[in-house]
């Protein structure tokens, strides 16, 4: 296997001190990059995901064009419900639509825990091809949605601000909900283990809707399952948990043994560090909308973010995905400022 030359991200996740902070951006592949938007005119969303050659090209674009220290495979969290037997459509300017959502116990009959090598083999092929094409320039990140966030889409059937139908399902039919969460978890474990075998150095679990749950529900409906996934990845890949808005549970996330924890911009780095403890790397937490500020403002704000995280392992990132309307120059300014930063104690 090729040795990774720029292994700043890997060393930071192992808790080592590095010469500078590694940087990448959630959702960095696609959306705001002109070369991606050109491909978008020719191929549908799932064609882009399922064709390893296209997926790998899109994955490498931000490495070459923006200079990030890691590549994240181009795919989507919703390929898992798709592999479990649900229809998933991606509607332009509207987002995902699952026309036949799970509403009751008997609907679980429609689902399978698939052989991931059959149904998601295209993701493994894309990872293998990307690993070759990267030639060890930077590490490769794989990912999956957390079981709770996938349940949100599988039950609600579409995006939502509150995911009220998904929550009502869990609160009124808890046994069915837990059975579904366990089926998603079993699929996700096989899927992420397959990603590691295909060359992913790191895997990130995206719990984008973790923050919709209070601390006890988060433990019951999300953490329990994330814990199983992190345990199953031990010695297979480095792991990052990103549970947006669920800062109250950083201590239990750290206790899973995950190597990194993502945080959003609504928590101060010092407080996140207190909750997470000294060991694991914290990842974040620039407000993605701040990339719409003038470049000098971006530079100044990135430096104060880096100051606030200094002293402990940190991966510079946004607090959620990059917005589609961010100018590429602004994304570059974010990355360059991290790369040029020197900590100067006051
Ligand atoms: O760096 C990357 O962009 C890697 C690829 C990636 C995509 N989706 C591609 C995508 C990743 C890591 C995701 C994760 C994802 N998908 C999440 C978790 C992260 C987050 O943002 O909270 C979620 C909740 C989804 C579900 C999803 N997929 C939504 C809500 C949407 C529509 C709105 C949007 O984000 O654009 C998608 C579509 C999607 N997934 C696009 C891309 C590039 C845009 C559609 C397109 O380009 O045609």
In a domain, 1, yes or no: no
Predicted pLDDT of residue 209: 98
Q: Which two tokens stand for residue 342?
A: 């020197």
In a domain, 346, yes or no: no
Q: Dihedral, CA atoms, 140, 79, 125, 323, nearest 10 degrees?
A: -40
Q: How far is the CA of 31 from the centre of ligand 1 (A)?
A: 9
What is the pairing mode between strands 281-286 and 89-91? unpaired
Residue 346 confidence (pLDDT) above 90 = no
Residue 199 confidence (pLDDT) above 90 = yes
Confidence of residue 1 (pLDDT cuts 50, 70, 90): low
Ligand 1 atom closest to the Cα of residue 49 is: 9
Predicted pLDDT of residue 2: 74
In a domain, 2, yes or no: no
Q: How far is the CA of 324 from the centre of ligand 1 (A)?
A: 11
The answer to whether 9 and 137 have CB atoms below 8 angstroms apart is no
- Indicate the top mutation candidate among 31, 79, 262 to test ligand 1's pocket, ranked by most ligand atoms within 8 A of CB: 31
What is the C-alpha separation between 130 and 200, in angstroms, rounded? 10
- Average pLDDT value over all residues in the chain: 97
For every residue of 214-267, DSSP letters joined together read: -HHHIIIIIIHHHHHHHHHTTTTSEEEEEETT-GGGHHHHHHTT-SEEE--TTS
Segment holding 328, helix H or strand E: helix 328-340
User: What spatial distance separates the first Cα and last Cα of the chain, rounded to whole Å?
Assistant: 44
Backbone region of residue 54 per phi and psi (left: phi > 0; alpha: psi in -120 to 50; beta: other values): alpha
In a domain, 98, yes or no: yes
Residue 70 confidence (pLDDT) above 80 = yes
pLDDT tens string 277-303: 999 999 999 999 999 999 999 999 999
Residue 178 sits in which domain range?
Answer: 8-340
Does ligand 1 come within 6 angstroms of the Cβ of 76? yes
Report how many domains make up the chain. 1
Q: What is the CATH number of the domain that holds 223?
A: 3.20.20.210
Q: Which two tokens stand for residue 147?
A: 């079981």
In a domain, 307, yes or no: yes
CA dihedral (273, 277, 279, 281) positive or negative: negative
Does ligand 1 come within 6 angstroms of the Cβ of 215? no
In a domain, 130, yes or no: yes
Predicted pLDDT of residue 3: 86
Give 177 or 40, the one with higher predicted confidence.
Answer: 177
Does ligand 1 come within 6 angstroms of the Cβ of 136? no
In a domain, 222, yes or no: yes
Ligand 1 atom closest to the Cα of residue 324 is: 36
The answer to whether 4 and 63 have CB atoms below 8 angstroms apart is no
| Rg of the chain, C-alpha, whole Å | 19
Predicted pLDDT of residue 267: 98
Segment holding 302, helix H or strand E: helix 295-309
Ligand 1 atom closest to the Cα of residue 75 is: 5
Percent of the chain with pLDDT strictly greater than 70 = 99
- Indicate the top mutation candidate among 35, 57, 321 to test ligand 1's pocket, ranked by most ligand atoms within 8 A of CB: 321
What is the pairing mode between strands 95-97 and 89-91? antiparallel
In a domain, 3, yes or no: no
pTM over cut 0.95: yes
pLDDT tens string 152-196: 999 999 999 999 999 999 999 999 999 999 999 999 999 999 999
Does ligand 1 come within 6 angstroms of the Cβ of 96? yes
Q: Using CA positions, which residue lies closest to atom 31 of ligand 1?
A: 95
Residue ranges with strand state E in the chain: 71-72, 89-91, 95-97, 140-145, 202-207, 238-243, 260-262, 281-286, 314-318
- Paired residues of 203 in beta bridges: 142, 239
Query: Average of pLDDT values for 54-73?
Result: 97
Predicted pLDDT of residue 30: 84
């Amino acid at each position: 296997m090729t040795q990774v030359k720029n292994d700043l991200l890997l060393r930071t996740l192992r808790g080592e001190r590095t010469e500078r902070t590694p940087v990448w951006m959630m959702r960095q592949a696609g959306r705001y990059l002109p070369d991606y938007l050109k491909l978008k005119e020719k191929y549908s969303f799932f064609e882009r995901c399922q064709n390893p050659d296209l997926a790998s090209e899109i994955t490498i674009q931000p490495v070459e064009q923006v200079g990030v220290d890691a590549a994240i495979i181009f795919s989507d969290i919703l390929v898992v419900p798709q592999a479990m037997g649900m229809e998933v459509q991606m509607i332009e300017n509207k987002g995902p639509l699952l026309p036949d959502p799970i509403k009751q116990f008997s609907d679980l009959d429609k689902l399978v825990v698939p052989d991931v090598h059959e149904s998601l083999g295209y993701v493994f092929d894309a990872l293998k091809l990307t690993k070759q094409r990267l030639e060890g320039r930077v590490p490769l990140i794989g990912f999956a949605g957390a079981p709770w966030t996938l349940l949100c889409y599988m039950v609600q059937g579409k995006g939502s601000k509150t995911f009220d139908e998904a929550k009502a399902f869990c609160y009124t039919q808890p046994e069915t909900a837990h059975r579904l969460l366990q089926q998603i978890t079993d699929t996700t474990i096989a899927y992420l283990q397959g990603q590691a075998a295909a060359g992913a150095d790191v895997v990130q679990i995206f719990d984008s809707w973790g923050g919709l749950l209070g601390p006890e529900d988060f433990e019951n409906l999300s953490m329990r399952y994330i814990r199983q996934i992190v345990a199953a990845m031990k010695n297979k890949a480095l792991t990052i948990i990103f549970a947006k808005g669920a800062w109250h549970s950083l201590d239990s996330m750290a206790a899973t043994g995950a190597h990194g924890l993502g945080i959003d911009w609504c928590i101060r780095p010092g407080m996140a560090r207190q909750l997470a403890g000294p060991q694991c790397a914290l990842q974040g937490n620039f407000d993605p909308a701040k990339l719409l500020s003038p470049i000098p403002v971006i530079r100044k704000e990135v430096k104060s973010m880096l100051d606030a995280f200094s002293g402990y392992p940190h991966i510079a990132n946004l607090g959620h995905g990059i917005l589609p309307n961010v100018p590429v120059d602004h994304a570059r300014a974010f990355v360059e400022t991290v790369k040029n930063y020197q900590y100067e104690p006051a």
